């Protein structure tokens, strides 16, 4: 790893600021690679999961990347342009400008839940900004990690893009490398260690973490519409998505109606679970056991577990397809209400007023995503203005992440910094301030020895 880092540093010094044409060519090569190998990528990810819906992979790991590359290529020349800034009257006729420079070598630590997309999306941003990159993908999806290394090695030399595979100890050492910027996607717990390791090198970090993303259903909103859009986001990748709806705040007098609508919608979306190719397995036996532990803890503390598929409720851990379940009568002391669920379990939390819902969310760590289902402009405006969250979608779930002109990132426990589209270009660029002095200027008036002239200037400036 250290020798590869040095090799990339040397290559960066030889080409500090690649032209638009060079960057665009790299992105074009990457796009063709993804398109040409889409079937193999989908099959390999499915092998790592035990079963992963091919349609979900094509949507989230393939189509999303192609769209992002196309968007980046169409705007990159403009993003690279010199930015003009105003000059204060006392400094005219000088000029101010901003030049966006690559930072150098970027380190990317990617997770297992979208193992290809979350390795390549930061790479798109890094390459668009003119950087070189080293990627450490997750050890929980080893086949996808090996394929990512093999594919990128076909089009990029190691001094431009390198993939480092290995277990958690390799990832730990990777985080200690002296990168010019590091992006980590994963849990809040691990994110703390990554930030601590980066701090020793003063490496700037972008942390894409998770947390409990709440969903609020307003009193008069259609439960059928809400249920469809909540479950389409919740059950994508079987709930193993950092921005999946984590729990639902629903009016107290509509808890039962909300549960009924969610159950009916779920059965319509997925008539069965175990033999359903559209439904994705839990990534590992460890994570399967963790989800069962959340249910056991909630049940012991008085929660009601609603089995949407009672005939398939007892899922074998070898199959690792956990049927969706609703959880009611939840209390704050239950682990399911304090830890990110990251699976197909959905607690329903009653509320009496919008004030109560806002307070409930505000008393907890800032979420990565907030979902609000309401046709009431006042309610939407209050949720938008009074709840701090990484991102927000109104009358839908997860769709905000697909918007290439919106930044994606968290706040507080859910992350630091953002990327995607122009925001990704900015994250991996240094905005270098440039002041251009004019031939005709009053600079000599500021030279020592100081006298009455400088006093008059200071009076004018203040």
Q: Active-site residues: which are they?
A: 208, 242
Orientation of helix 117-128 relative to helix 20-36, angle to 10° = 160
Looking at residue 408, the DSSP 8-state letter turns out to be B
Nearest to 75 by CA among 328, 315, 421, 462: 421
**DSSP secondary structure letters along 115-174:** TTHHHHHHHHHHHHTT-EEEEE--TTSHHHHHHHHHHHHHHS-TTTEEE----HHHHHHH
Rounded Cα distance between 219 and 360, Å, is: 16
Rounded Cα distance between 111 and 142, Å, is: 11
**8 Å CB contact between 158 and 165:** no
Looking at residue 243, the DSSP 8-state letter turns out to be T
Report in angstroms the alpha-carbon separations of 104 from 15, 42, 181, 218, 449: 10, 32, 8, 47, 42
Cis peptide before 76 (omega within 30 of 0): no
Q: Which residues pair with 325 in a beta bridge?
A: 307, 345
The residue written with tokens 């109560």 in the block is 356
Report in angstroms the alpha-carbon separations of 70 from 117, 199, 200, 276, 309: 15, 34, 37, 33, 41
**8 Å CB contact between 111 and 138:** yes
Coil, helix or strand at residue 365: coil
């Amino acid at each position: 790893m250290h020798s590869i880092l040095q090799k990339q540093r040397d290559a960066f010094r030889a080409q500090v600021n690649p032209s638009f044409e060079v960057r665009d060519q790299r992105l074009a090569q990457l796009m063709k690679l993804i398109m040409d190998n889409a079937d193999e990528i989908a099959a390999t990810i499915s092998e790592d999961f035990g079963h992963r819906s091919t349609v979900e992979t094509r949507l989230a790991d393939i189509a999303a990347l192609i769209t992002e590359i196309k968007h980046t290529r169409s705007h990159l020349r403009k993003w690279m342009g010199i930015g003009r800034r105003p000059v204060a009257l006392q400094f005219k006729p000088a000029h101010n400008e901003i030049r966006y420079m690559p930072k150098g070598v970027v380190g990317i630590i990617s997770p297992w839940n979208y193992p290809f997309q979350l390795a390549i999306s930061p790479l798109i941003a890094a390459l668009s900004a003119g950087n070189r990159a080293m990627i450490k993908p997750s050890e929980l999806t080893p086949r996808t990690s090996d394929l990512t290394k093999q594919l990128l090695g076909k089009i990029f030399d190691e001094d431009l893009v390198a993939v480092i595979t290995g277990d958690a100890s390799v990832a730990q050492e990777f985080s200690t490398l002296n990168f010019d910027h590091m992006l980590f996607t994963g849990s809040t717990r691990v994110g703390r260690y990554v930030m601590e390791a980066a701090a020793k090198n003063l490496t700037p970090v972008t942390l894409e973490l998770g947390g409990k993303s709440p969903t609020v259903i307003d009193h008069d909103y259609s439960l059928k519409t809400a249920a469809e859009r909540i479950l389409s986001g919740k059950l994508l990748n079987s709930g193993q998505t950092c921005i999946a709806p984590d729990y639902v705040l629903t009016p107290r007098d509509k808890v039962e109606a909300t549960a009924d609508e969610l159950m009916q919608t779920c059965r319509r979306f997925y008539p069965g679970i175990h033999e359903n190719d559209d439904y994705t397995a839990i990534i590992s036996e460890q994570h399967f056991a963790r989800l069962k532990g959340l249910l056991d803890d909630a049940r012991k503390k008085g929660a009601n577990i609603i089995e949407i598929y009672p005939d398939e409720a007892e899922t074998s851990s070898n199959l690792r397809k956990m049927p969706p379940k609703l959880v009611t009568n939840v209390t704050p002391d239950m682990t399911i209400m304090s830890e990110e669920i990251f699976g197909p379990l959905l607690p329903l939390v009653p509320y009496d007023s919008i004030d109560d819902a806002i307070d409930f969310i505000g008393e907890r760590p800032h979420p990565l995503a907030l979902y609000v289902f309401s046709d009431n402009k006042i309610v939407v405006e209050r949720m938008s203005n009074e709840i701090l969250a990484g991102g927000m979608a109104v009358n839908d779930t997860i769709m905000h992440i697909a918007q290439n002109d919106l930044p994606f990132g968290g706040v507080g426990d859910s992350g630091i910094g953002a990327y995607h589209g122009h925001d990704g270009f900015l994250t991996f660029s240094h905005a270098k301030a440039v002041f251009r002095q004019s031939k005709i200027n009053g600079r000599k008036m500021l030279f020592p020895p100081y006298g009455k002239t400088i006093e008059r200037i200071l009076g004018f400036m203040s």
